[in-house]
Amino acid sequence: MSKGLVAGKIGSLRRSKGLSQEELAEYASINLRTLQRIENGKNEPRGQTLRLIAKALETPVEDFLDFTMEEDTGYLQLMNLSALSFWVIPLGNIFIPMALWVMKRNEVKGVNELGRRMINFQLTWTFITFSLVFGLVFNVFFGHGFGFTPQLVAAIIFGFYLLNSIVILIAAFQVRQGREKVYSVGFPILR
């Protein structure tokens, strides 16, 4: 998003707290001219400067980050669809989306929330699927089998993979529609 939104947020918070630019610059331990350029929209506060201003205004830094994040539904789609890599790469449904999540979670709006929900779901799905597969294979080869043939076990595994693919494609549709609550099922491993 534009620098003007951050500038407006800083300016309105400063005025609501009854501070002058000089007072805020002093409380934040930054140069007055720097603060003036930020409030005029000529500079965008980043890193330490943003943290100092947020601390001086007694506001969480995250309130400003929402204004500095760009909206990129294409990246959200890419991150979501990257989970389909589990068809080719074992555990690709976890590691590839996680890498994409870590790279852009503070830069693209919605990536942090979608990434956490998605990775929690994929971790849950992977745990359940591999536990079931291990149990079935163990039963077929070392147990009684309970009527499970290797072909049936392969069909069950394929069914679970297909189910995960359908969930990913439904989530892709929901992301495209702008829904924020995607992947609501899963153990909250990442918070």
Is the distance from CB of 39 to CB of 63 less than 8 angstroms?
no
Q: Distance between CA atoms of 50 and 44, rounded to whole angstroms?
A: 9
- Residue 105's identity, in one-letter code, is R
CB atoms within 10 A of CB 73: 14
Threshold 0.85, pTM exceeds: no
Q: Distance between CA atoms of 118 and 191, rounded to whole angstroms?
A: 12
What is the pLDDT confidence band of residue 1, given thresholds at 50, 70 and 90? very low
Domains of the chain: 3-68 (1.10.260.40), 73-177 (no CATH)
Q: Give pLDDT, residue 136.
A: 78
- Interval 58-95: pLDDT, tens: 888 777 765 556 788 899 999 999 999 999 998 999 99
The average pLDDT across 101-105 equals 89
- Interval 22-36: pLDDT, tens: 998 999 998 889 889
- Residue 153's identity, in one-letter code, is V
Q: What are phi and psi of 89, to 5 degrees?
A: -115, 120
